């Protein structure tokens, strides 16, 4: 049986997709890149914003149009928040909530009457990750969140915090590394809350991975900025832990942050970023910003812009606020008009682009190691561009001969110049 996997949304959705891919392969089924060849299609939906929910609905319909004969399984946050709506959508055969998604493979095979074919099961070492064309693996270590930011619907969809035991995570990382993965990304809804239900913490998990695995590169997913401890800062001195963190700021105005029920003030955020940069050279901090939160005045907007400029980010994910039924923010007064939100979003996109260019420029001249990915683009008749990522997640391009393959290799380069959204490099 051919299984096609598709996702929208966060890195946690990616990690779950990888787990399902391996589960289907162990049951004797094949992961396909072609939706038209699939007997079963699994879609991991998103609902972090109204736009994400709309895109999820569109994706379900598009998938069904492309292959109406395939069985369609839908999971994720949109499927959890609106299960009846999803179930009634043309083409959907099975809805699996977030609470049951750890059993998605079993439910799919049982409820859609597909049997396992162990005689055709995947050969050892053939990893679903590479069948989907990735060189890094997303490892889900935690789900759920105990905090209730006033704009967030994900905590409703994902439920309470639940962490995987350290031993299970270490074993998965070792398995991935033995199968050729050179970088793992630890992900969770509230990654910094890892271990809250086990009597442990994220520092202990990272330390265990550093001590009991040999995977060359360890990267952390989105991390709330109030979760840091002195022990965590010390861990970042280890060269295997990549010098990049995605710290969601959401707003650079303290009064807006209070309405958002965020737990970190701007002065604390700025101090944290400075500490990171003082202790690890060329540390890259990226962030999320919500534009047009209810009640965001012109003064608060300018405060936010000024703070974002002051901190400087390697990249900013920009979200225009959308009202989400079931959140506290939905009932707040003074919602910002759509036209004003769009204007502010455009201003922030321009600022973010400038900050990213400055970050890339600051990296020119450095000698760095790059993990190269599969994608390449023709340069001349005899050469091609290959792409990869430096430890601090700066995107790098290098021109090599057509006969050279660097996919999934880690090599040293010198960063020579900025080219739009990435850096150009020369091999020694």
pLDDT band at 379 (very low <50, low <70, confident <90, very high): confident
The rounded distance, in Å, linking the Cα atoms of 284 and 243 is 6
The answer to whether residue 121 scores a pLDDT higher than 50 is no
Residue 57 exposed, middle or buried by CB count within 10 Å (0-12, 13-18, 19+) = middle
The answer to whether residue 94 scores a pLDDT higher than 80 is yes
Name the DSSP letter for residue 408.
T
CA angle 79, 82, 84 (to 5 degrees): 100
The pLDDT, as a whole number, for residue 416 is: 96
The answer to whether residue 232 scores a pLDDT higher than 90 is no
- Strands 2-7 and 30-31: what pairing? parallel
pTM: 0.81
Write out pLDDT tens, residues 262-272: 999 999 999 99
Question: Which distant-in-sequence residues (6+ apart) come within 8 Å of 102 by Cβ?
Answer: none
The answer to whether residue 247 scores a pLDDT higher than 90 is yes
The rounded distance, in Å, linking the Cα atoms of 53 and 42 is 17
259 near 216, Cβ under 8 Å?
no
The pLDDT, as a whole number, for residue 401 is: 93
The answer to whether residue 58 scores a pLDDT higher than 80 is yes
């Amino acid at each position: 049986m051919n299984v096609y996997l598709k996702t929208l949304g966060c890195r946690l959705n990616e990690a779950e997709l990888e787990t399902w891919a391996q589960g289907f392969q162990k049951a004797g089924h094949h992961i396909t890149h072609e939706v038209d060849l699939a007997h079963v299609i699994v879609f991991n939906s998103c609902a972090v914003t109204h736009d994400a929910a709309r895109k999820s609905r569109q994706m379900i319909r598009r998938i069904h149009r492309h292959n109406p004969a395939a069985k369609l399984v839908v999971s994720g946050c949109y499927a959890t928040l609106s299960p009846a709506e999803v179930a009634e959508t043309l083409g959907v055969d099975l809805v699996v909530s977030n609470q049951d998604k750890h059993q998605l493979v079993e439910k799919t095979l049982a409820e859609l009457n597909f049997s396992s074919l162990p005689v055709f099961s995947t050969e050892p070492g053939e990893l679903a990750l590479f069948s989907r064309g990735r060189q890094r693996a997303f490892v889900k270590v935690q789900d759920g969140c105990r905090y209730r930011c006033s704009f967030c619907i994900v905590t409703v969809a994902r439920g309470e915090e639940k962490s995987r035991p350290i031993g299970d995570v270490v074993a998965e990382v070792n398995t991935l590394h033995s199968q050729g993965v050179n970088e793992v990304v630890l992900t969770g809804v509230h990654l910094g809350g890892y271990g809250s239900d086990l009597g442990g913490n994220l520092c202990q998990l990272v330390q265990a991975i550093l001590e009991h695995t040999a995977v060359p590169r360890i990267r952390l997913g989105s991390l709330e900025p109030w979760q840091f401890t002195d022990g965590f800062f010390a861990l970042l001195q280890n060269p295997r832990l990549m010098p990049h963190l995605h710290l969601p700021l959401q707003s650079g105005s303290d009064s807006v942050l209070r309405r958002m029920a965020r737990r970190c003030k701007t002065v604390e955020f700025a101090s944290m970023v400075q500490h990171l940069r003082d202790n690890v050279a060329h540390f890259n901090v990226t962030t999320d910003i919500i534009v047009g939160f209810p009640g965001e005045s012109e003064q608060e907007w300018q405060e936010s812009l000024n703070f974002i400029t002051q901190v400087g980010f390697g990249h900013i994910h920009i979200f225009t606020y959308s009202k989400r039924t079931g959140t506290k923010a939905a009932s707040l007064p003074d919602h910002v008009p759509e036209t004003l939100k769009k204007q502010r979003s455009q201003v922030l996109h321009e600022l973010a682009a400038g900050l990213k260019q400055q970050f890339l420029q600051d990296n020119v001249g450095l000698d760095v190691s790059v993990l190269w990915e599969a994608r390449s683009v023709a340069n001349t008749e005899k050469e091609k561009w290959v792409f990869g990522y430096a430890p601090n997640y700066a995107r790098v391009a290098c021109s090599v001969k057509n006969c050279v393959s660097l996919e999934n290799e880690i090599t040293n380069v010198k960063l020579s110049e900025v080219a739009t959204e990435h850096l150009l490099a020369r091999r020694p």
